Structure 1
């Protein structure tokens, strides 16, 4: 769901038999990207290619499939776009694939993979490097009211500094023009036995837990199981609307694109 009605959604999510992907596109707000296609094009094109690749090549590791897909997307627009530009479009990536009695996953950037077992125990897998870098830089932003001119100026400086640490040692890694980022993704394999559900969430959908601290992963799973993704996003929007200027929860943006794929493996 886009952050605001009528605004382009820069998240992308899709599923196929035994596989799913979720991407959260990003740029530098208000800045030129150097790309004539835009952030939503980047995330949807990369996401579609990645889903196609991981289903067509079931034996190829997911990180390798991600690197292949990044290279293909680069080839699609490197002749028309400036991919050396610091604000060139990027995207988080969460992808899962079932095979041989196990779930394989790859996570890059601050979107989340939420795994739940038959007993309701949850495990959240998130790439924390972006948040860790951000915490070192965003102090001046959080001291100001969201939406104020001063906040906008501080946010621009913060995002510019953050972009300078993108896909660098000591910084953070995210899908962009360089396929090398896939080598730094979090990867793993989880036995399907006792695994009840798999959920992919963009950071706009996890705000109740990791930004607002008013819900738990178990509570999130309960909402998804009883009422579905739409209700979870409704609750996020309700919280965001109740704090539009970031007095309670300092934030770079009052609302964010929010996307959830909830995959129930057993009934």
Structure 2
């Protein structure tokens, strides 16, 4: 496999709650999340949750080729739950969760699964590109953000509004009419976006956390084709560098309102032979 992987935490010295890994013919990317400033009810933390789930998912995806990716994810969520349900409060409103992107090459096709607002960028040999991302979280969030986008990022007022927003968002997590994300309940996997693409039609496959897609979907400074061009020419590290450069130019979020000035950013770029 010809794969490049880059990842940076939101701030130096902080834990990176993104996780990405590759194996022969497969890759996964997870973006861990919790309610900002709130206790998670988990003694292990968000980075442990996304890393443990990601490692188990990659193992299951490769070890169980007859299982669908949704079945692999459901099983992995169940295993992670068994690892800490005796020590952690998994019914707590801010219990750790994670987006999931997983791909697997098998029998001449690329299988994919996307749950949450991370993105899968599929580049065709004919020059076309297609993005698979779960918009349900963004659609719910747009209804609830209220004053968050009107306040300077990092200010006490913004922090208070953000906590209220995320509390309201949590109430709609893994519920009909809300959004779906990997957490304590394996049934969330049933709501993932899944599909297959002929391998022969693909030039590359890219898995991106939302911290790495900000130039496109938050800042409007680049297109998906621009993102693909950077990945092909310079790789994930350069893409993340460009994201950080834009973030520094708008630390208070006046130009581009957002929950936090910087976010964990991760990209996996797999060039197919």
TM-score, normalization by structure 2: 0.97
2:242 is aligned, of 231, 235, 242, to 235
| 1:32 to partner: Cα distance | 0.1
| Secondary structure at the counterpart of residue 94 of structure 2 | coil
What does residue 150 of structure 2 align with?
A: 143
| Secondary structure at the counterpart of residue 43 of structure 2 | coil
8 A contact 1:107–1:113 mirrored in 2: yes
Distance in 2 separating the partners of 1:130 and 1:163: 11
What does residue 109 of structure 1 align with?
A: 116
1:85 aligns with 2:95: no
| 1:60 to partner: Cα distance | 0.5
What residue ranges of structure 1 are gaps of 5+ in the alignment?
none
2:179 is aligned, of 157, 160, 172, to 172
Distance in 1 separating the partners of 2:127 and 2:261: 32
1:181 is aligned, of 164, 167, 188, to 188
For residues 40-51 of structure 1, the aligned pairs below 5 Å read 40-51=47-58
Cα deviation digits, residues 207-262 of structure 1 (max 9, x gap): 00000011000000000000000000000000000000001000000000000000
2:255 is aligned, of 232, 238, 248, to 248
Distance in 2 separating the partners of 1:122 and 1:131: 22
Cα deviation digits, residues 59-82 of structure 1 (max 9, x gap): 100000000000000000000000
Q: Which has the higher contact order (CA 8 A, sep 6+)?
A: 2
| 1:139 to partner: Cα distance | 2.5
| Secondary structure at the counterpart of residue 234 of structure 1 | helix
| Secondary structure at the counterpart of residue 92 of structure 1 | strand
Any runs of at least 4 consecutive aligned residues in structure 1 with deviations exceeding 2 A, and if so which?
Answer: none
What residue ranges of structure 2 are gaps of 5+ in the alignment?
1-7
1:67 aligns with 2:77: no
Number of residues of Structure 1 aligned to a counterpart in Structure 2: 266
Distance in 1 separating the partners of 2:232 and 2:112: 22
Cα deviation digits, residues 98-128 of structure 1 (max 9, x gap): 0110000110000000000113211000000
| Secondary structure at the counterpart of residue 193 of structure 1 | helix
Distance in 2 separating the partners of 1:163 and 1:259: 24
> What RMSD in Å do the two structures reach over aligned CA positions?
0.5
